[in-house]
Amino acid sequence: MTAVLRIEDLEVRFRDGDESRLLIDRVSLELQRGEILGLVGESGSGKSLLCRAVMGLLPSRKLAITRGRVELDGETISGLPEAAMLGIRGRRIGMIFQNPTSHLDPVMRIGDQIAEGLRRHRGLGRAAAQAEAVDLLRQVGFTDPPRQARMYAHEFSGGMRQRAMIAIALACDPEILIADEPTTALDVTIQAQILRLLADLRRTRGLSIILITHDLGVVAQVCDRIAVMRNGSVVEQGEKRALLAHPQHPYAQALIASHPSLPQEDAVGEPLRPHEAPLVEIDDLEVSFPAGGGLFGRKRSTKALAGVSLRVGRGETVGIVGESGSGKSTLARALLGLQPVTAGHIAFDGAVLTLERARTLARLRREAAMVFQDPFNALNSRMTIGETLAEVLRVQGKVPAERIPTRIGELLDMVGLERDFAARRPRSMSGGQCQRAGIARALAVDPTLIVADECVAALDVTIQAQIVALFRRLVQDHGLTLIFIAHDLAIVRRLCERVVVMQHGRIVEDGASAEIFARPAHPYTAALIAAIPSIDPDRPLGGGEAGAISETGLQQEGLTT
């Protein structure tokens, strides 16, 4: 194999007046023709910045390549003028991003966005570009390309938006495709589909691919080689089987040990223990949303929850899993009184929310708390962590005013943050630190129940493992009841003694974690489990059945998840 891309001794520095910081530290890498290279590491390790340097797309004028070079097919492209780089970006090196919604034009049809690149870089006429765009949509898995080419980004699910981004990147037939965290925000079944698609494109088009991710399970499935980055440096690289089996660098060893697909001796595997009377009781719950006007002025609605019944015992840890659109978050919001219900009943410790709303809401606000998916947006950016916690404590009124500073310190201790974090604001903290602060805010209520809604989905695997360990300790030490919502069964397997599986607004399976993971009764549950990215490079990608069920329906209807 010959190298299509060579990075030699590359440095990128931030400079602002007298301040200078080294962000990429003498990185050397090669991408062979037809190879998939996995670039892994935690957030802030320099993965995306390195690839932006390759593309000549450094995000600030205060950043610059100060050493080394980048070669494409033997020609140096680092330092080329912008006009020359415009002919390389898209035409020879394509890029797809983690969040397709941010990179797709919301007022432009998908087909037109693909055709725009074809007309610019390949000089095709309008009709030829539109025909090529339809064919590209077919290649990336759209089921009705002529119709879907006329649709807008908001009319598609997350998985289909990511496919559209891949089609745009492929429009100019590039030699190299850089995929920056293309599956992080997707359900495990849709993730498996996108990974299979990338592997197929490598085979059919001869693409060379750099796959950026923080998940070693993803690269183990599709990559040929792995390069591990930390603090702007490549600390280890090699053929994937050798690296996964015998990692040499302590950081690579920690990443592999943190991956949730590995068998865990401390995973929750015991049968369900008997619990006291239910803390939460949900009976035949329905939640509907308006779906636009129908014929003759009739109002239409879509059922987000259809006949859901659930019991959660005091001190129980329950994982609610399913793909986007399955109704998990709607169920959580309804339980906490944040979402009106159409029919059915919800009771919290004997108080019925749907019959005694004011009384039950008052109890929920005193005894229940929620931890959200996005730790940055869930915290007030203008307030320090101490001010945020103090506000909750004052509103609750359970702690005397003179004890509030002491209680803030105790809360930070509980979530593993140093007490000086009380003086810090969210923007000066990492995602994992912000999520710990969010958990501390939830604990400030002195809750009986915590509902955690996808609270580790956006975190690195090592930070995920820390947050899961924190929840397990809090449940054990404080007798909390935990409802943990996730689309990733691997995380739930580590944390929860019981699993509830949702699909299309219904519960399709409910039972002990040990039983469900060993012998899933429903085919959808089996497909979800099969789709968990495995760190075993010889295990085939799973997720076909569940992904096909969810995505095919969405493609046909043109709906979002």
pLDDT tens track for 35-70: 999 999 887 788 888 999 999 988 888 899 999 999
Question: What is the average pLDDT across 342-363?
Answer: 90
Residue-level pLDDT at 549: 41
pLDDT beyond 90 at 538: no
Question: For residue 188, is pLDDT > 80?
Answer: no
User: Sorting pLDDT into bands at 50, 70 and 90, what band is 547?
Assistant: very low
Interacting residues of 459 by C-beta distance below 8 A, sequence separation 6+:
431, 432, 435, 467
Residues 470-487 have a mean pLDDT of: 88
What pLDDT score was predicted for residue 38?
A: 94
Q: Tally Cβ neighbours within 10 Å of residue 431.
A: 19
Is residue 459 within 8 Å of residue 467, measured between CB atoms? yes
- Whether the pLDDT of residue 543 is over 50: the answer is no
The percent of residues above 70 in pLDDT, for the chain, comes to 90
Q: How large a percentage of the chain has pLDDT more than 90?
A: 40
Amino acid at 246: H
Instruction: Delimit the domains of the chain by residue range.
Output: 3-258, 278-291+300-532
Q: Of the given ranges (1-5, 126-130, 259-263), which has the lowest mean pLDDT?
A: 259-263
Is the pLDDT assigned to residue 550 strictly greater than 80? no
Class of domain 278-291+300-532: alpha beta
Q: How confident is the model at residue 180 (pLDDT cuts 50, 70, 90)?
A: confident
| pLDDT tops 60 at residue 544 | no
- What average pLDDT score do residues 326-332 get? 89
pLDDT at 12: 94
Whether residue 485 is predicted with pLDDT greater than 60 in this model: the reply is: yes
What whole-number distance in Å separates Cα of residue 40 and Cα of residue 467?
Answer: 20
Q: What mean pLDDT comes out for the span 101-127? A: 88
Give, for 310, the enclosing helix (H) or strand (E). Answer: strand 299-313
* In the predicted structure, residue 132 carries a pLDDT above the cut 60: yes
Query: Which range among 12-26, 249-263, 489-503 shows the weakest confidence by mean pLDDT?
Result: 249-263
Residue with more model confidence, 1 or 208: 208
**For position 553, what pLDDT does the model report?**
38
Shortest CA distance to 379 belongs to which of 437, 463, 318, 459?
Answer: 437
- Among the residue ranges 156-160, 195-199, 212-216, the one predicted with the least confidence is 156-160
Residue 262 confidence (pLDDT): 44
Give whichever of 220-224, 253-257, 402-406 has the largest mean pLDDT.
Answer: 402-406
Mean per-residue pLDDT, 372-393 = 88
**Burial status of residue 83 (CB atoms within 10 A of its CB: 0-12, 13-18, 19 or more):** exposed
Note the pLDDT of residue 77: 93
According to DSSP, the β-strands at 63-72 and 75-76 are antiparallel
Among positive and negative, which fits the CA dihedral 196, 201, 206, 210? negative
Instruction: Answer yes or no: same fold for 3-258 and 278-291+300-532.
Output: yes
pLDDT of residue 176: 93
DSSP letter for each residue of 392-450: HHHHH--S-GGGHHHHHHHHHHHTT--GGGGG--GGGS-HHHHHHHHHHHHHHT--SEE
DSSP state string for 517-547: HHS--SHHHHHHHHTSPPS-TTSPP--HHHH
Residue whose pair of structure tokens reads 């725009």 in the numeric block:
116
pLDDT per residue over 358-381, tens digit each?
999 988 988 999 888 777 778 888
Q: How far apart are CA 532 and CA 60, in angstroms?
A: 37
Residues 6+ apart with CB under 8 A from 117: 90, 168, 171, 172
pTM over 0.85: no
Q: If you classify domain 3-258 with CATH, what class do you get?
A: alpha beta
pLDDT score of 272: 55
Average pLDDT of the residues of the chain:
84
Per-residue pLDDT, 373? 75
CB neighbourhood size of 323 (10 A): 29
